[in-house]
């Protein structure tokens, strides 16, 4: 067995053990509503590592919850994918095995399809337009749909703007993508976008990407500067092109039944803490991406810009392939 496969097997076994242990604990306790005044502990799964700005914001969220509930509620952060990758964490929140998870909207769209409108390529004109949409009526409508699948969604966070990076060559035009195997998140929209650009989409969990790039299983991937830097992907894929094809938000999710089991005062405190943490995250993520870009330049990464017009034209058909988004797209484009 290769080292890469052996590593994946070990991670899978570890996740199964953690989930099984958590499920046993959940089942072995009497399920009942928390009593007023009794301390509550909530578990939050985060796939990214401790030093990532998103994880820092989740620690801020935990501190704010503790403060706003006068110490009654403790949020324990389980970072670095201790409960599996984002899709696995969402499922565990739905099942009530864990209470909260912070995830990218690309993955959420597999569970709550309306979220996919925010993952369409080039749907946002710029950062300001993005948050007029997310903090406005379209964002509220999409977030409300999460209730149908047993989830509560809090204020949107930033996940940067995603750009392509490759192992062996600079992407100078859309023609350079033709035939390249590009790692994507497991999402129908993202897969279709890559197909329309002429590349070969290769869905893969985030934790497997470094090995896939280094061994040539994929020719490239796409992400923002922070993830590109903190993951070490720049070491094996040193050609980065700023095409900004996707700018999907992140979101903090909570098990709906668990949230409703808490007192109104605690619910209000959690919502307020989530909002403050989201605004904090947007600020530090923007700053972190600027700093990460400078770090990548210093590390010798080739960074280039590109005319995105041919890319936009190539992926335009995707808008018509999702007629259920027509109303939301019209709202977004008019804002």
| 8, part of any domain | no
- pLDDT over threshold 90, residue 158: yes
Is residue 212 a contact partner of residue 248, using CB atoms and an 8 Å limit? no
Number of separate domains in the chain: 2
Token pair, residue 304, equals 């280039």
Please, which residues have CB within 8 angstroms of residue 253's CB and are 6 or more apart in sequence? 90, 93, 100, 101, 102, 103, 108, 146, 151, 152, 153, 154
Q: What is the mean pLDDT of the chain?
A: 91
Percent of all residues in the chain with a pLDDT value above 90, rounded to a whole number: 84
Do 93 and 172 belong together in one domain? no
Asked if 315 and 168 sit in the same domain, the reply is yes
Task: Note whether 258 and 123 are same-domain residues.
Answer: yes
pLDDT recorded at residue 34: 65
Q: For 198-236, how does the pLDDT look when each residue is reduced to its tens digit (9 = 90+)?
A: 999 999 988 899 999 999 999 999 999 999 998 999 999
| Structural domain includes residue 185 | yes
What is the CATH classification number for the domain harbouring 280? 3.40.190.170
pLDDT digits (tens, 9 = 90+) for 22-60: 444 443 333 355 667 789 999 999 998 898 899 999 999
DSSP for 154-208, written as a single string: EEEE----EEEEESS----SGGGGTT-EEEE-S-HHHHHHHHHTTSEEEE--GGG
Residue 141 has pLDDT above 50, yes or no: yes
Residue 43 forms part of a structural domain: yes
Give yes or no: residues 238 and 305 share one domain: yes
| The pLDDT value given to residue 12 | 43
Domain identity same for 173 and 297? yes
Share of the chain above pLDDT 70, in %: 89
Q: What is the span of the domain harbouring residue 181?
A: 162-247+290-334
Q: Are residues 68 and 216 in the same domain?
A: no
The 8-class DSSP code of residue 55 comes to H
Count CB-CB contacts under 10 A for residue 55. Answer: 21
Give tens-digit pLDDT for 2-27: 444 444 444 444 444 444 444 444 43
Contact 171, 150 (CB under 8 A): no
Asked whether residue 143 is domain-assigned, the answer is yes
DSSP letter for 147, please: G
Give the mean model confidence (pLDDT) for residues 235-258. Answer: 97
Instruction: Kindly tell me if the per-residue pLDDT of 144 is higher than 60.
Output: yes
Q: For 136-146, what is the mean pLDDT?
A: 98
Residue 308 belongs to some domain of the structure:
yes
Average pLDDT over residues 293-303: 98
Q: Which tokens is 232 given?
A: 């070490």
Q: What is the pLDDT of residue 265?
A: 97
**Residue 153 DSSP label:** E
Tally of CB atoms within 10 A around 263: 16
Residue 303: pLDDT band (50, 70, 90) is very high
Separation between Cα atoms, residue 316 and residue 245, nearest integer Å:
12
- Say whether both 308 and 204 belong to one domain: yes
Average pLDDT over residues 77-86: 95
Residues 301 and 259 in one domain: no
Distance from C-alpha of 201 to C-alpha of 146, rounded to nearest angstrom:
27
**Residues 118, 130: Cα–Cα separation, whole Å:** 9
Residues 106 and 36 in one domain: yes
The answer to whether position 311 is within a domain reads: yes
In a domain, 279, yes or no: yes
Beta-strand (E) ranges in the chain? 40-46, 73-78, 100-104, 151-157, 162-166, 181-184, 200-203, 220-223, 239-246, 250-255, 302-305
* More confident: 186 or 113: 113
13 within domain boundaries: no
Q: Please report the sign of the dihedral spanned by the C-alpha atoms of residue 117, residue 141, residue 271, residue 23.
A: negative
Residue 175 to residue 276: CA distance in whole angstroms? 43
My answer on whether 56 and 170 are in the same domain is no
């Amino acid at each position: 067995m290769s080292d890469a496969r052996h590593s994946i097997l070990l991670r899978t076994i570890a996740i199964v053990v953690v989930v099984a242990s958590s499920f046993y604990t959940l089942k072995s306790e009497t399920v009942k509503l928390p009593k007023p005044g009794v301390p509550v502990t909530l578990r939050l799964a985060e796939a990214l590592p401790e030093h990532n700005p998103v994880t820092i914001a989740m620690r801020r969220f935990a501190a704010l919850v503790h403060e706003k509930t006068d110490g009654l509620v403790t949020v324990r952060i389980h970072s670095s994918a201790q409960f599996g990758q984002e899709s696995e964490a969402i499922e565990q929140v739905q099942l009530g095995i864990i209470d909260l998870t912070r995830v990218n909207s690309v993955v959420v769209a597999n569970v709550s399809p309306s979220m996919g409108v925010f993952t369409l390529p080039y749907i946002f004109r710029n950062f300001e337009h993005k948050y007029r949409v997310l903090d406005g009526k379209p964002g509220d409508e999409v977030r409300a749909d999460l209730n149908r699948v047993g989830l509560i969604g809090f204020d949107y966070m930033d996940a940067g703007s995603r750009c392509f990076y490759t192992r062996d060559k600079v992407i100078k035009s859309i023609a350079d993508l033709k035939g390249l195997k590009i790692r994507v998140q497991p999402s129908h929209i993202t897969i279709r976008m890559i197909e329309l650009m002429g590349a070969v989409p290769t869905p893969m969990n985030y934790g497997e990407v470094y090995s896939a790039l280094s061994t040539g299983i994929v020719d490239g991937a796409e992400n923002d500067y922070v993830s590109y830097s903190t993951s070490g992907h720049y070491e094996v894929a040193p050609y980065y092109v700023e095409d900004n094809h996707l700018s999907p938000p992140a979101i903090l999710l909570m098990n709906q039944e668990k949230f409703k089991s808490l007192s109104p005062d605690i619910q209000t405190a959690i919502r307020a803490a989530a909002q403050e943490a989201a605004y904090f995250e947007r600020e530090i993520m923007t700053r972190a991406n600027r700093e990460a870009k400078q770090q990548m330049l210093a590390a010798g990464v080739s960074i280039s810009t590109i005319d995105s017009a041919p890319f936009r034209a190539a992926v335009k058909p995707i808008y018509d392939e999702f007629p259920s988004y027509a109303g939301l797209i019209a709202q977004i484009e008019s804002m």
